[in-house]
């Protein structure tokens, strides 16, 4: 007891004394620390550069009940900054090794690993946590967990039940820049509200890559995602640093570009498209993870007001940080519960055009949307790429116009996409006059 008392001495100073920054609901007492050590259940998503820092910080800040989820295994190139891993761990699951390391090093801390993708877990799993802290490098994964937390909200007579809110603390880094934000789903702006802050997407809709390439990038992507896995020329995954691999992709993309009359494909462009790696800087991860862990501590203990609600860090030229209050988007597809209305003026507008719009619009940025609609009282799958038998059957719809597919002004299309666990509704505004002419 004596050594335990000393061990958390610094935390006790914050948790057992009042101060000018405490939230009104803060009550200084020893139960605050007990809650962190024994009851407060956290989920850390990602056990990579940010994740290692987060786990270490949270465990040292007294959080004793932590789950971590990551599907990746450890690679040699991770070891310079993902400091919970050693050379002998290469090939093992990140979540598992990270949990073992923390548990063996920090007495009393119980980290439970989940070696899978976040989509493999259901609502019941996510509902058990008090808070979710993300150290992800994927926007799709961020949007998916954002959608999951929004779907857990309970509304009674239009009023949000505050007990159903699971706060999400999101950290992100790219080179020397980073950001941290605190999201209270249903109250503060969600990931999709501020989607247009993310850099323009560098992936292309698969239907375009496969069927109607227009850019040299489309040809390179085609070889990368379709031809390589099929032909498997070197019996291994693509290595962007292997000139033989790049050369193979260069030659095959050139063939495809020639076939479609596309100009401008160079070896350098192939390298750029294939490598597409976000550089990782250990110090940026350390700063962002420290902020996220502090925000988790503040939320769990009420010892101080939370970050409101978006902080940016730029270490490129000196050290610069800035905090501002991002705003909710009134018609946010994820959190507003308002169906999105898409107006189409051209009566010949094709299904493929609509899919490309869903993928390219900065506020939507879908990846491979599957579309169903109610046409003349029947549920009809317009296009679905994720199931190959359905893809084959619905491919011919891509070149049909929306009107030929039986859609009318006011028709609602249900859209499923990897960016969210929920189905979204898109309402069409189509030209009335042309429709009558047809």
Question: In the bound complex, what is the minimum distance in angstroms from residue 133's beta carbon to Zn ion?
Answer: 19
379 - beta bridge partners? 374
Q: Does position 193 bind Zn ion by CB under 5 A? A: yes
Kindly indicate which of the ranges 54-62, 188-196, 370-378, 394-402 contains the residues binding Zn ion, using the contact rule CB under 5 A: 188-196
The three-state (H, E, C) secondary structure of the chain, written as one string: CHHHHHHCHHHHHHHCCCCCCCCCCCCCCCHHHHHHHHHCEEEEECCCHHHHHHHHHHHHCCCCEEEEECCCECCHHHCCCCCCCCHHHCCCEHHHHHHHHHHHHCCCCEEEEECCCHHHCCHHHHHCCCEEEEECCCHHHHHHHHHHHHHCCCEECCEECHHHCCCEEEEEEECCEEEEEEECCCCCCCCHHHHHHCCCCCCCCHHHHHHCCCCHHHHHHHHHHHHHHHHCCCCCCCCCCCHHHHHHHHHHHHHHHHHCCCCCCCHHHHHHHHHCCCCCCHHHHHHHHHHHHHHHHHHHHCCCCCCCCEEEEECCCCCEEEEECCCCCCCCCCCCCCCEEEECCCCCCEHHHHHHHHHHCCCCCCCCCEEEEEECCEEEEEECCCCHHHHHHHHHHHHCECCCCCCCCCCEEEEECCCCCCCEEEEEECCHHHHHHC
Out of 133, 190, 215, 398, the residue judged to bind Zn ion by CB under 5 A: 190
Q: Does position 335 bind Zn ion by CB under 5 A? A: yes
- Considering the complex, state which of residue 193 and residue 246 has its C-beta at the smaller distance from Zn ion: 193
Out of 148, 332, 371, 415, the residue judged to bind Zn ion by CB under 5 A: 332
Catalytic residue, from 52, 134, 207, 292: name it: 207
- Considering the complex, state which of residue 192 and residue 217 has its C-beta at the smaller distance from Zn ion: 192
Q: Does position 334 bind Zn ion by CB under 5 A? A: yes
Question: In the bound complex, what is the minimum distance in angstroms from residue 117's beta carbon to Zn ion?
Answer: 23
Question: In the bound complex, what is the minimum distance in angstroms from residue 195's beta carbon to Zn ion?
Answer: 8
- Considering the complex, state which of residue 262 and residue 334 has its C-beta at the smaller distance from Zn ion: 334
Say if CB 191 and CB 334 are below 8 A apart. Answer: yes
- Considering the complex, state which of residue 187 and residue 390 has its C-beta at the smaller distance from Zn ion: 187
Q: Does position 416 bind Zn ion by CB under 5 A? A: no
Question: In the bound complex, what is the minimum distance in angstroms from residue 335's beta carbon to Zn ion?
Answer: 3
Kindly indicate which of the ranges 13-21, 122-130, 176-184, 332-340 contains the residues binding Zn ion, using the contact rule CB under 5 A: 332-340
Judged by CB under 5 A, the number of residues near Zn ion is 6
Kindly indicate which of the ranges 22-30, 54-62, 183-191, 343-351 contains the residues binding Zn ion, using the contact rule CB under 5 A: 183-191
Say if CB 9 and CB 30 are below 8 A apart. Answer: no
- Considering the complex, state which of residue 286 and residue 335 has its C-beta at the smaller distance from Zn ion: 335
Q: Does position 192 bind Zn ion by CB under 5 A? A: yes
Kindly indicate which of the ranges 10-18, 68-76, 265-273, 328-336 contains the residues binding Zn ion, using the contact rule CB under 5 A: 328-336
Question: In the bound complex, what is the minimum distance in angstroms from residue 433's beta carbon to Zn ion?
Answer: 35
Question: In the bound complex, what is the minimum distance in angstroms from residue 169's beta carbon to Zn ion?
Answer: 16
* Catalytic residue status for 190: no
The 10 Å Cβ neighbour count of residue 6 is 10
Question: In the bound complex, what is the minimum distance in angstroms from residue 75's beta carbon to Zn ion?
Answer: 34
Cα separation, 148 vs 154, in Å, equals 13
Choose among 59, 141, 43, 135: nearest CA to 100: 59
Q: Does position 270 bind Zn ion by CB under 5 A? A: no
- Considering the complex, state which of residue 97 and residue 148 has its C-beta at the smaller distance from Zn ion: 148
Q: Does position 150 bind Zn ion by CB under 5 A? A: no
- Considering the complex, state which of residue 190 and residue 355 has its C-beta at the smaller distance from Zn ion: 190
Kindly indicate which of the ranges 97-105, 330-338, 412-420, 423-431 contains the residues binding Zn ion, using the contact rule CB under 5 A: 330-338
- Considering the complex, state which of residue 115 and residue 420 has its C-beta at the smaller distance from Zn ion: 420
Kindly indicate which of the ranges 246-254, 309-317, 327-335, 411-419 contains the residues binding Zn ion, using the contact rule CB under 5 A: 327-335
Give the residues lining the site for Zn ion (CB under 5 A). Answer: 190, 192-193, 332, 334-335
Catalytic residues: 207
């Amino acid at each position: 007891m004596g050594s335990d008392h000393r061990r958390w001495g610094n935390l006790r100073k914050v948790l057992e004394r009042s101060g000018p920054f405490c939230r009104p609901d803060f009550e200084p007492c020893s139960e605050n620390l007990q809650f962190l050590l024994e009851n407060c259940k956290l989920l850390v998503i990602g056990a990579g550069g940010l994740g290692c820092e987060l786990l270490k910080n949270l465990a040292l800040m007294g959080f004793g009940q932590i789950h971590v989820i990551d599907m990746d295994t450890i690679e040699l190139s991770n070891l310079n900054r993902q400091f919970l891993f050693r050379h002998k761990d290469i090939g093992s699951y990140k979540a598992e090794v990270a949990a073992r390391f923390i548990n063996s090093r920090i007495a009393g801390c119980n980290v439970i690993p989940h070696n899978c993708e976040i989509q493999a877990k259901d609502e019941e799993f996510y509902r058990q946590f008090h808070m979710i802290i993300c150290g992800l490098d994927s926007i799709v994964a961020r949007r998916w967990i954002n959608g999951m937390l929004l779907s857990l909200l309970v509304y009674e007579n239009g009023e949000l039940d505050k007990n159903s809110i699971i706060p999400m603390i999101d950290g992100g880094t790219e080179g020397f820049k980073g950001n941290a934000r605190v999201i209270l789903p249903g109250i503060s702006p969600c990931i999709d509200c501020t989607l247009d802050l993310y850099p323009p997407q560098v992936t292309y809709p698969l239907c375009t890559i496969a069927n109607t390439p227009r850019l040299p990038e489309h040809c390179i992507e085609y070889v990368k995602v379709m031809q390589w896995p099929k032909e498997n020329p070197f019996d291994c995954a693509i290595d962007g640093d292997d000139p033989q691999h790049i050369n193979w992709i260069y030659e095959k993309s050139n063939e495809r570009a020639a076939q479609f009359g596309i100009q401008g494909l160079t070896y350098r462009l192939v390298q750029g498209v294939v490598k597409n790696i976000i550089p990782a800087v250990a110090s940026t991860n350390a700063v962002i993870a420290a902020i996220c862990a502090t925000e988790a501590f503040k939320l769990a203990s009420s010892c101080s007001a939370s970050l409101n609600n978006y902080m940016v860090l730029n270490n490129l030229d000196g050290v610069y940080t800035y905090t501002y209050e991002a705003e909710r988007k009134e018609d946010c597809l994820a959190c507003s519960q308002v169906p999105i209305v898409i107006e189409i003026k051209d009566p010949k507008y094709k299904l493929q055009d609509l899919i490309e719009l869903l993928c390219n619009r900065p506020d939507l940025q879908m990846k491979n949307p599957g579309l169903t609609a109610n046409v003349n009282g029947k549920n009809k799958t317009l296009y679905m790429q994720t199931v190959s038998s359905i893809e084959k059957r619905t491919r011919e719809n891509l070149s049909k116009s929306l009107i030929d597919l039986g859609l009318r002004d006011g028709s609602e299309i249900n859209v499923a996409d990897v960016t969210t666990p929920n189905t979204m509704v898109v309402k069409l505004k189509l030209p009335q006059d042309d429709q009558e002419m047809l």
